[in-house]
Structure 1
């Protein structure tokens, strides 16, 4: 009837893809911005302070709009969202970016659609068609193959941290998208931020740098970006897109994130993007064309 994101609701489907794309564009700047920030800011403090800033904004917004608190049965899902996208992914990527470039880390985001789709099946009850998995796994193999080439240094402190970040993020995306169907995208990320806010404030206090004179202006700007855009505004668009268009389907838009992020890395950080990076990224992006077609189950009614 109302919530059947299928061919009978083309405008809703289009809205899902538009919102999802806007979320991806915002997220694409996250890793380059994080790379800038961790040059001067400790990864742990960065993770906790960005969540504290976003959580404070979310608390104010919820209070001003007088939004009713979530049901008790929804708290566990909000905790999973919080652990996945507010703590897990930001912390793991910040730690990884101490050892690898943002251009290198961005290629790993090509694994996000597969991670999100897997958790979409486990947590969201979606059932993509078999060809979908072929295209999704193919994109993931391209990314994994790149990580194993001689152009990058495999290290537990870099690549493996990024892989762990992808798994936790996929879980947080899928869980948040499922809950967005009931609460709405902006409320999901807002409540997840508020739930984690007391812990983030305490953690930020205990990881407070002894002095901030060494933190340069670009790092402060990067902190502002990851706090307001990456941690809050991006999720409003992203969760809405996933809820309307489907977790597995719209989740494939994440295949565009490495390409957009590489553009940011080149323009802002002047990082070197090798021909292999560009080739792998292009191959990963092409996989979205096939996977998008088979993302929805074709069972009739």
Structure 2
């Protein structure tokens, strides 16, 4: 199935997906809890949210009569799952045990450039020198921010956040490519169903053995239903019909939204220097996304 490009609709769906994903960092932090009041284990959040969404996906695929993926598509689904089912959720959950959601949001600000860079490699494109300059500057900014927030030193959580960024970038590109062959809904549903025999048992093995607050369970419900499932319906479809490079630009605002949402949801503080770093990263990413990219033959 080859989808015709619809730039306007693609941008709208991409914006909806970005807003849903922007809530993911503060909600994951809420589900994890604080050091003096731990709630859900990172491995349970990772596998549990995928298992819940996987069960819903199985029902969706059954009732819509979706065709089975081809062997080649199954390979792409497997790679997509490594990034969005395991890589990003697990690395993020491990990181936000150590740093607040505002910190994680700034580091994740380079995700659009990472996505564009992975897309360029996969789609055999040659980004301009200006793009790579912006990519390096964006990376330098988040590293400088991490160094500053770590009191003149990096934290292990910063490395985990960078792994989360590149995991998500790979999963986004792989899933968006598949969304030009099958519906976006089927892509994320087949990914989740494929991994269900692994995620469901792991979720049961790592289920909480202590009392968990209603707020933490509510946050877990959000990342299961929206971050892991419904958000991808909009995001993958938007990337597929609006153009991967074009629509991914809307992702520039995601870290800013995450920071703003962390204030009312978690009671975190947004200081002036953090805001300056965030705006600088957003500006660099926005410029980088507008740099020319040559398609190789």
**SS class of match (1:148):** helix
Q: How many residue pairs get matched?
A: 290
2:22 is matched with 28
Residue in structure 2 matching 1:14, options 1, 8, 18: 8
Distance 1:150 1:271 in 2: 14
* 235-244 vs 222-231, greater mean Cα deviation: 235-244
2:175 is matched with 176
Distance 1:218 1:189 in 2: 27
2:208 is matched with 209
> TM-score, structure 1 length as denominator?
0.90
> TM-score, structure 2 length as denominator?
0.91
Distance 1:3 1:127 in 2: 24
Distance 1:148 1:4 in 2: 45
2:120 is matched with 121
The answer on whether the counterparts of 1:129 and 1:298 sit within 8 Å (CA) in structure 2 is: no
Distance 2:63 2:129 in 1: 46
Distance 2:227 2:11 in 1: 18
1:53 is matched with 52
Distance 2:207 2:192 in 1: 20
Residue in structure 1 matching 2:271, options 256, 270, 274: 274
1:154 deviates by 2.1
1:155 is matched with 155
After superposition, the Cα gap between the structure-2 partners of 1:140 and 1:253, relative to the gap in structure 1 and judged at 3 Å, is: farther
1:288 deviates by 4.4
**SS class of match (2:180):** helix
1:122 deviates by 2.2
2:282 is matched with 285
RMSD of Structure 2 on Structure 1 (CA): 2.1
Distance 1:234 1:38 in 2: 21
1:167 is matched with 166
The answer on whether the counterparts of 1:114 and 1:137 sit within 8 Å (CA) in structure 2 is: no
Unmatched tracts of structure 1, length 5 or more: 6-11
Unmatched tracts of structure 2, length 5 or more: 34-38
1:96 deviates by 0.8
2:36 is matched with none
The answer on whether the counterparts of 1:124 and 1:174 sit within 8 Å (CA) in structure 2 is: no
1:8 is matched with none
1:199 is matched with 198
1:232 is matched with 229
The answer on whether the counterparts of 1:249 and 1:296 sit within 8 Å (CA) in structure 2 is: no
